[in-house]
């Protein structure tokens, strides 16, 4: 039993949570997802939100109920967890190089996909070696998975570097007995948090020019991609206007955080609501203008900005150690000893990975606790 399970359904129970507690507003999760599904559809795209943001099969299933076409996964472990929850329409967005991981996924797909039936599961590849690894893992499985050629459009992390390399991979996939060439993936994480919309347009524009050139090369070679998948929350307005994508991989929109709160959206999209926060308690207040809370680097990601203090824009947070944070405010401040304080996450994805469960609220009532079951390594 989790620490707060006894509070589920108790009116006002949210105020009694043992902390640190990662909290989500169930209504805002749904509103954010339905809004993004609608925005994507208006731009001629399906929404395939990235589960790396939430790492939760229960939330993933609900996103599909709310209109998403399927999910993206960043790691084989995330994919296995989603498959185990019965979600088969997945795209594994990073190349796999470990045979044990590919074999585990192939075994899970055999259990989920009836023999001879189409399999919705998709992977990306950026090398011939990667294709051969999957073919070996799928040997004897009597199923075919979809494969997208991963393109490097400017980030230099993964992906085929140019049109000839992409054509070579697409040609090889077209002849594969166990993999179906389904299209391409193009993602640039470098641009997602560029705060100026104009600067983001300028930098990302060069990446999209490269994508267009590769797409033109594939079409000229008779290898037109059925799926062009990619993009993120920060690039969504630009992706929507480009007309290059028919599937979008935005993930952080479902939660939002301090980083995305600093990003300018231009005039084409309304920012989403912050639907997640971390609740802590004040454990000491013995000096003017400061108080100590029971959460530090073990509870909040420290790779970007400091967290925001929800409802208190003039208060600031400073990391005070592994388990502690320092609240700072003007003057002596009101008595806070034992009171709860809520924090807007600095960077949602890595903060989520520090916790084992979501506390789902409706008003001040705890209605459910969802495990963050996609954490970990296969």
3-state secondary structure 328-352: ECCCCCCCCCCCEEEEECCCHHHHH
The pLDDT profile of the chain, 378 residues, written as one tens digit per residue, is: 589 999 999 999 999 999 999 999 999 999 999 999 999 999 999 999 999 999 999 999 999 999 999 999 999 999 999 999 999 999 999 999 999 999 999 999 998 887 666 689 999 999 999 999 999 999 988 889 999 999 999 999 999 999 999 999 999 999 999 999 999 999 999 999 999 999 999 999 999 999 999 999 999 999 999 999 999 999 999 999 999 999 999 999 999 999 999 999 887 667 799 999 999 999 999 999 999 999 999 999 998 899 999 999 999 999 999 999 999 998 777 899 999 999 999 999 999 999 999 999 999 999 999 999 999 987
Quote the CA–CA distance of 124 and 126 in Å, as a whole number: 7
Quote the CA–CA distance of 133 and 131 in Å, as a whole number: 5
Q: Are 278 and 345 in contact (CB under 8 A)?
A: yes
What number of residues does the chain have?
A: 378
Distance from the Cα of residue 174 to its chain's centroid: 30
Strand ranges (E), 59-98: 71-73, 90-92
Strand ranges (E), 236-347: 247-248, 276-287, 290-293, 308-309, 316-319, 325-328, 340-344
In terms of phi and psi (left: phi > 0; alpha: psi -120 to 50; beta: otherwise), the region of 287 is beta
The token pair that represents 162 in the structure block: 């140019």
Q: Of the candidates 50, 59, 128, which has an alpha carbon nearest to the alpha carbon of residue 92?
A: 50
- Sheet containing 227-230: give its strands across: 46-47, 247-248, 227-230, 179-186, 145-151, 122-125, 90-92, 71-73
- Please state the pTM of the whole predicted model: 0.96
The token pair that represents 46 in the structure block: 């399906």
Task: Give 107-152 as a DSSP string.
Answer: HHHHHHSPTTS----EEEESSHHHHHHHHHHHTTS---EEEEEEE-
Domains of the chain, start order: 5-22+272-371 (2.40.37.20), 26-257 (3.20.20.10)
The token pair that represents 24 in the structure block: 């989500």
Quote the CA–CA distance of 74 and 375 in Å, as a whole number: 11
How far separated are the first and last CA of the chain, in Å rounded?
Answer: 25
């Amino acid at each position: 039993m989790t620490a707060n399970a006894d509070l589920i359904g108790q009116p006002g129970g949210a105020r009694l949570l043992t902390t640190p507690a990662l909290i989500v507003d169930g209504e805002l999760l749904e509103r954010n997802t339905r809004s993004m599904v609608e925005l994507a559809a208006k731009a001629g795209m399906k929404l395939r939100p990235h589960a790396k943001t939430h790492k939760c099969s229960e939330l993933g299933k609900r996103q599909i109920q709310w209109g998403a076409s399927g999910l993206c996964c960043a790691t084989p472990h995330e994919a296995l967890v989603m498959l185990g929850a019965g979600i088969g329409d997945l795209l594994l967005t990073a190349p796999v190089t470990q045979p044990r991981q590919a074999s585990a996924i192939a075994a899970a797909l055999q259990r989920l996909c009836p023999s001879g039936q189409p399999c919705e599961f998709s992977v990306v590849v950026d090398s011939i070696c990667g294709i051969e690894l999957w073919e070996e893992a799928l040997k004897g499985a009597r199923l075919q998975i979809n494969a997208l050629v991963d393109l490097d459009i400017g980030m230099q992390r993964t992906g085929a570097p140019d049109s000839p390399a992409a054509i070579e991979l697409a040609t090889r996939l077209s002849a594969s007995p166990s993999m179906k060439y389904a299209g391409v993936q193009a993602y640039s994480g470098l641009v997602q948090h560029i705060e100026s919309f104009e600067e983001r347009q300028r930098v990302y524009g060069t990446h999209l020019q490269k994508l267009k050139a590769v797409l033109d090369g594939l079409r000229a070679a008779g290898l037109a991609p059925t799926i062009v998948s990619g993009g993120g929350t920060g690039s969504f307005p630009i992706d929507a206007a480009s007309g290059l994508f028919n599937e979008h991989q935005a993930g952080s929109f479902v939660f939002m955080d301090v980083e995305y709160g600093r990003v300018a959206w231009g005039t084409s999209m309304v920012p989403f609501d912050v639907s997640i926060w971390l609740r802590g308690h004040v454990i000491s207040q013995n000096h003017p203008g400061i108080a100590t809370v029971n959460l530090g680097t073990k509870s909040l990601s420290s790779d970007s900005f400091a967290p925001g203090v929800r409802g208190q824009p003039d208060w600031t947070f400073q990391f005070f150690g592994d388990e502690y944070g320092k609240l700072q405010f003007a003057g002596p401040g009101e008595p806070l000893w034992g009171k709860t304080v809520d924090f807007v996450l600095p960077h949602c994805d890595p903060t989520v990975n520090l916790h084992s469960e979501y506390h789902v609220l409706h008003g001040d009532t705890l209605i459910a606790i969802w495990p963050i079951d996609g954490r970990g390594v296969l």
